[in-house]
């Protein structure tokens, strides 16, 4: 049967315009902006250009904005003085303006709270004298890249996440996302390749979740009961795209269950290609399995709306063409996942969500890697 343009438009609007609920937050539709590091915040302070960048997308129909990764208040958390920070009077004042502008435009917003662990190099800003820390002092390639965290280090980092979450609620954000993906600090504890500890924070998959679960629990305690806590995780790492936390659904459940029990309200399952099945024997992607195993709402992500299936081409200066959303809509109609996070397509075009929700597919634009060089 031939599907007309008007029928396709009606279907997209019907599927994506439904509200979604995460704990006490109602997101007005099923489209989220994925977190993407931009480095346009000198001194770690988001300015008026960052305010406009996010509010433009909320005004054009994005239901939930997850901000770029923003460093928690621990000196070893980051590696750039142009990445925003979520601590400090001036920094939080800038974020307050961002949240207010997004709300005025009709959207909801969460900061992504971030500590990069051993991805950091010695002497890097914003605090050059800070040590490089990780669960075992190892980088994702297995080389030494810092020192193993002491119990005091662990407590201080957990406290920094909790303080940032409390600040987010205080200044008007709608929830927080904890960055537990892509080989950064929380993920370094989760993955056997970077966690060789022999204390309570290392060992089997459940033991390796202890740090992440304590971060979640501390954040949960620091905010009100209805304030959403989202946890982003991935199988792949920055330098190890084939890395996996779990080879089977049972192994994945062992990782996710302690996090859900600690207070995660929704999981953001980061993949490079959202349409790929995660395990043999079923078509479910990582977000689909996460929803099935935990019962929590999930966000999916990975080359949504683009035809290349590999965001890493962006870093080689390569673009990507527009692709059909039919597969995405099929999966959402089956309730495989709850919200779709859009990255490069929305980076390229602030009006992507409005065009999709209104059926203006002919106006969608190909992705050009030059979009990384400015805030549109």
- CB burial of 302-320 (b: ≥16 within 10 Å; e: otherwise) equals bbbbbebeebebbeeeebb
Task: Give the DSSP letter string of 52-104.
Answer: HHHHHHHHTT-SEEEEEEEE-S-TTS-S-SSS-BS-SHHHHHHHHHHHHHHHH
Phi then psi for 374, rounded to 5 degrees? -155, 165
Nearest residue to 256 via CA among 300, 206, 221, 217: 206
Task: Give the DSSP letter string of 257-271.
Answer: HHHHHHT--EEEEE-
3-state secondary structure (DSSP) of residue 351: coil
Q: How many CA atoms lie within 13 A of 69 on its CB side?
A: 20
Cα 67 from chain centre: 8
53 labelled catalytic? no
Q: Which residues contact 83 (CB under 8 A, 6 or more apart)?
A: 37, 39, 41, 44, 68, 69, 70, 71
Q: Which among 54, 184, 233, 367 is annotated as catalytic?
A: 184
Cβ–Cβ < 8 Å for 11, 253: no
Phi then psi for 337, rounded to 5 degrees? -150, 175
First to last CA, the chain: 40
Residue with tokens 């939930």: 64
CA distance 32 to 147: 36
Neighbours of 129 (CB within 10 A): 7
Residues that are catalytic: 184
């Amino acid at each position: 049967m031939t599907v007309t343009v008007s029928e396709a438009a009606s279907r997209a609007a019907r599927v994506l315009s439904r509200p979604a609920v995460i704990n006490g937050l109602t997101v007005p539709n099923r489209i989220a902006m994925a977190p993407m590091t931009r480095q346009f915040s000198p001194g770690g302070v988001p300015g008026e250009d960052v305010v406009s960048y996010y509010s433009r997308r909320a005004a054009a129909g994005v239901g939930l904005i997850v901000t770029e990764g923003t460093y928690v208040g621990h000196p070893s958390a980051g590696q750039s003085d142009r990445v925003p920070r979520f601590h400090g009077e001036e920094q939080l004042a800038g974020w307050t303006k961002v949240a207010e502008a997004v709300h005025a435009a009709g959207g909801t917003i969460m900061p992504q709270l971030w500590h990069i662990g051993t991805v950091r190099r010695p002497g890097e800003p914003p605090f050059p004298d800070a040590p490089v820390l990780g669960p075992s002092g190892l980088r994702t390639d297995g080389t030494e890249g810092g020192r193993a965290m002491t119990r005091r280090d662990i407590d201080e980092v957990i406290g920094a996440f909790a303080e940032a979450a409390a600040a987010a609620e205080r200044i008007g954000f709608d929830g927080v996302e904890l960055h537990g993906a892509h080989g950064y600090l929380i993920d370094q504890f989760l993955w056997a390749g970077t966690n060789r500890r022999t204390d309570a924070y290392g060992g089997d998959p459940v033991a390796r979740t202890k740090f992440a679960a304590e971060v979640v629990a501390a954040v949960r305690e620091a905010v009100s009961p209805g304030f959403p806590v989202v946890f982003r995780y991935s199988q792949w790492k920055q330098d190890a795209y084939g890395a996996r936390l779990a080879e089977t659904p049972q192994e994945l459940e062992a990782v996710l269950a302690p996090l859900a029990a600690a207070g995660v309200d929704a999981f953001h399952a980061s993949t490079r290609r959202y349409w790929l099945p995660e395990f043999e024997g079923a078509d479910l992607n990582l977000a689909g399995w996460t929803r099935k195993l935990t019962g929590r709402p999930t966000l999916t992500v990975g080359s949504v709306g683009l035809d290349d299936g590999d965001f890493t081409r962006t870093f080689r200066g390569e673009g990507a063409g527009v692709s059909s959303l039919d597969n995405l809509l099929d999966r959402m109609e089956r309730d495989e996942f709850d919200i779709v996070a859009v990255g490069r397509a929305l980076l390229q075009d602030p009006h992507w969500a409005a065009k999709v929700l209104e059926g203006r597919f002919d106006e969608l634009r190909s992705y050009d890697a030059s979009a990384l060089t400015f805030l549109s």
